[in-house]
Amino acid sequence: MIQFFKNIHFRYLAFDWLSVDDSKDVTYRWYVTIISHFI
């Protein structure tokens, strides 16, 4: 499970660097939604 979170976090950071502002906002919201489901 820890590794799963690391993978998601790494992907989020990669998307953050590669995407434009609109996509970044969507990706951030997706990231927060996924994490909040597990907390």
Return averaged pLDDT per consecutive 10 residues of the chain, 39 residues in all: 70 60 68 76
Distances (CA, A) of 29 to 10, 17, 20, 22, 36: 15, 15, 14, 11, 10
pLDDT value for 21: 57
pLDDT value for 8: 72
Closest CA to 4 of 29, 35, 32: 35
pLDDT value for 30: 80
- Quote the domain boundaries for residue 13: 2-38
* DSSP letter, residue 36: H
- As for how many domains the chain has, the answer is 1
Global pTM exceeds 0.75: no
pLDDT value for 36: 78
Cα gap 24→11, rounded to integer Å: 12
Radius of gyration of the chain (CA): 10
